[in-house]
Structure 1
Amino acid sequence: MCNDMDNLFKPIIMVTGFGPFANHPVNASWEAVKLINKEEIERKHNCELVLIEIPVTYENVDEFVPALWETHSPKFMMHVGVSGVANCFTIEMQAHKKGYQRMDYFDKCPADHVCPAEGAIRIHTKLNVEGLCKEFNDSISPEEKTSAVCSKDAGRYLCEYIYYTSLSVDNKRTLFVHVPDINVYPSEQTARGLERILDICLDQINQAEQTKEVTEKLKETNLNDGHESNKI
């Protein structure tokens, strides 16, 4: 019973991958995401890890992603997609509201080629992507043959569309990772890399929360001290 109650209050971490489309009948993103070691991540971070496959349609993103945020309020949302030109993990730093002209799995694109999520013309993630890539690359042994790079061009397709949708909800807890195709990194190798990226991002989020908590306590202390000094 205690374990059931504990699970109710654990923070939720969500990782999404995309389903098949066009030149990717087997999508490397979902193939890797579903191999993430759920038990290990949950044990290490005392969380509930939710892995979700998203169909490659704009309508599904519009319907599912805001609902996931509203229903689960995840501590961290990481979207993963495949890039046919990537030769390593590509960590996206931003997403744009406009310019979605490529047709999705159902040969549709959004009205006026604009993402309906409310937000600025361009939204950046508040996570430290450059620091993430450095820490990732520094931690990888030469034998593993993986690396991570930063990117400011997420492709103006479903990958950038879903990223913008989540960034518009909370850009402090959202990241998008492009992974190479299976012929570059096998799915198991990609899954291990995604686990490392999860670790680094959750460390960043925890540090930011701790800093915020300390700052708020200092403000409260200073406010109380000010009230005391005004007493006669």
Structure 2
Amino acid sequence: MDKTVVFLTGFGPFEGHETNASWEAVKLVPTLNTEEELSIKLFVEQLPVVYSSIEKLVPELKLAYKPDVTIHVGVYNGRGIRIEEFAKKKGYTKNDIIDNCPKGGICSTGSDDVLCTQINLPLLSRTFFNETKQPIYISKEAGKYVLLLRTLCP
């Protein structure tokens, strides 16, 4: 049986932060014997906090890696783990690290106005809590910044 291919991303520095905690966590995953323990093939990448780079890189990397599962890890104020239930195509108003924002606040990739995860998030949250005693919060209030945009990329 073929191994499940997992594409895992963290993000580069942003808004005065020399390091991004999402990348600091993600870059450790390959050192944890994860591929062997979970019988997966893992690809790990750091993404720049730049709209145009996300729109170009994510589709290219997905084409190259052909992942079964893509997980983009972001950090928000250190308030536990939050999983975004969906991403929206419109409403991006915050500039990225090179002071750019999508024209009209609309991301240029993907065709859906809203993209919902296919993962059973309540089950994931319960399972994670049962194993770790750490809650995962399911977010229906995703921010509209470059970190959410990557979810819409085909």
Same fold per TM (> 0.5)?
yes
Please state if 1:82 is matched with 2:70. no
2:7/2:65 contact within 8 Å kept: no
Q: How does 1:166-205 map to 2 (within 5 A)?
A: 169=154
Provide the C-alpha distance between the structure 1 equivalents of 2:4 and 2:118, rounded to a whole number of angstroms: 19
1:38/1:49 contact within 8 Å kept: no
Which has the larger Rg? 1
Secondary structure at the aligned position of 1:53 is classed as: strand
| Number of the residue aligned with 2:124 | 132
Aligned-pair Cα RMSD in Å: 1.6
Greater percentage in helix: 1
Which amino acid is the alignment partner of residue 98 of structure 2? F
2:43/2:65 contact within 8 Å kept: no
TM-score (norm 2): 0.91
TM-score (norm 1): 0.62
Provide the C-alpha distance between the structure 1 equivalents of 2:92 and 2:21, rounded to a whole number of angstroms: 22
2:13/2:48 contact within 8 Å kept: yes
Which amino acid is the alignment partner of residue 116 of structure 1? S
Q: How does 1:1-232 map to 2 (within 5 A)?
A: 10-38=3-31, 40-84=33-77, 86-141=78-133, 146-165=134-153, 169=154
Query: Which whole-Å deviations, capped at 9, do the CAs of 1:56-86 have from their partners, x for residues lacking one?
Result: 00011011000111122111110011112x4
Q: Percent identity?
A: 33
Q: Aligned-pair distance for 1:11?
A: 4.2
Provide the C-alpha distance between the structure 1 equivalents of 2:13 and 2:110, rounded to a whole number of angstroms: 28
Aligned residue pairs total 153
**Runs of 5+ consecutive residues of structure 1 not aligned to the other structure:** 1-8, 170-232
Provide the C-alpha distance between the structure 2 equivalents of 1:50 and 1:126, rounded to a whole number of angstroms: 20
Query: Which whole-Å deviations, capped at 9, do the CAs of 1:36-69 have from their partners, x for residues lacking one?
Result: 1446221123332111110100011011000111
